Amino acid sequence: MKKTLLTAALVAGFASAAHAETSVTLYGLVDGGVGYTNQKTTWSGDFGSGSYKDRGFNFRSGVKNGNRWGLKGTEDLGNGTSAIFQLESGFSLGDGYSAQDGRLFGRKAIVGLTGESWGTLTLGRQYNAADDFVAPIDPFGTGWGQAAIGSAFGGGVSARFDNVVKYVTPNFSGFQLGLGWVGGNNKQNYSHNGDSWETKQKDNGFTFGLGYNNGPIEVGASFDYIRTDRSGNHNGLPIVGVDNKTKVWNLGFAYDFDVVKLHLIYGQQHDGAIGGLGLAGDIALPAYTADYEVATVGDSIVGDGLRQRSWLLGLTAPVSDAGKVLFSYTGNNIKNKELFDGKITSHIFNLGYLHSLSKRTSVYAVASYGQSKLKVNETVFDGQAKLKSTEVVLGLQHRF
């Protein structure tokens, strides 16, 4: 009996020690609402004149933030170092389907090591450095539907990459730096009856970010370089492939005056776009195959020669202990001289209100109006098109 009690006490002690050194947390958020959207493109020129309209009032899932659930944990390894992991899955609240093209953990899947004195090293599917240092400067961040920063900047301010090795320094009096390597290289050889093929596939690059957040001042900067290379040869003769080198940089600044906070961001994308062009990419034009079909501008101009300049001016102001008003004006200017003699200009105005019912539950409202204008002067297509887009949403969010 004494041995049994002793064994039970030892097991309980080890279990308590293990629990103190290791932790696993289930977390997530549920976000939904109702909203009205109205997008209309009108065009005139060599395509003739016409319009395309898409509108509706319906249930909206994940407006302020994308719906998610996840697991994260730490294990104390001693000497100030811990092992960490995070697995995060996105889903649609309206129908329960998985998001991110059905990936089980499409939002994030990482394992790594962290230490207060040397920083954090993570491996897996994760965000670029701009998401750490630039995206938070936008009053609406990466959520709030059309009001999100991506509507003018594209996805480069907050992009998920596969196969990333990323390092972030500790916080040195408000300063932090992040650097990550993205992707991989693959080469295949095949021969049969005297014929030979060789193919090469490169999807790699790096992501870099620097931030300062101390007192009323917040500054963030980022640079991403992503190369997509498809090449090869057949019996020694080169095969026509693709070699895109996309470069994206962003710079943001915010200052809190207590009664109001000022937000400023400027960025550019060159020779490609990470995550698309935002609202400008939604401009619809009649397809060549039939008058009743449409194709979007974003499908045709992303690639070598692309240059996108984007900007943001924002304000946030508390109106009570639980309420906050948000405003932003974003815009961009897009050209691709290698594909057409023309440009796209966009302007988007956003107004939102967030009210906290508790630490975990909030209600919100957002209204956004944007327009993009395309002008082209060349032999293939001479004309113009204009997109007007309106979105109004009321929503509820709970975090757990």
- State the pLDDT at residue 203: 83
Q: Closest Cα to residue 352, out of 370, 331, 373, 328?
A: 328
Please give the backbone phi and psi of residue 357, each rounded to the nearest 5 degrees, phi first: -85, -25
Predicted TM-score (pTM) of the model is 0.88
Structure-token pair, residue 65: 């933030």
Q: Closest Cα to residue 264, out of 312, 216, 219, 213?
A: 312
Q: How far apart are alpha carbons 353 and 316 in whole angstroms?
A: 10
Chain position carrying tokens 């090869």: 232
Note down pLDDT in tens along the chain; length 400 residues. 444 444 444 444 444 444 447 899 999 999 999 999 999 999 988 767 889 999 999 999 999 999 999 999 999 999 999 999 999 999 999 999 999 999 999 999 999 999 999 999 999 999 999 999 999 999 999 999 999 999 999 999 999 999 999 999 999 999 999 999 998 777 777 777 777 777 777 789 999 999 999 999 999 999 999 998 877 777 777 776 677 899 999 999 999 999 999 999 999 999 999 988 999 999 987 765 455 577 788 767 888 899 999 999 999 999 999 999 999 999 999 999 887 788 999 999 999 999 999 999 999 999 999 999 999 876 556 789 999 999 999 999 999 9
CATH, range 37-60+119-399: 2.40.160
- State the pLDDT at residue 3: 46
Domain ranges of the chain: 37-60+119-399
Q: Closest Cα to residue 178, out of 208, 218, 134, 223?
A: 208
Q: 144 in the Ramachandran plot: left (φ > 0), alpha (ψ -120 to 50) or beta?
A: left
Q: Closest Cα to residue 231, out of 188, 274, 182, 194?
A: 188
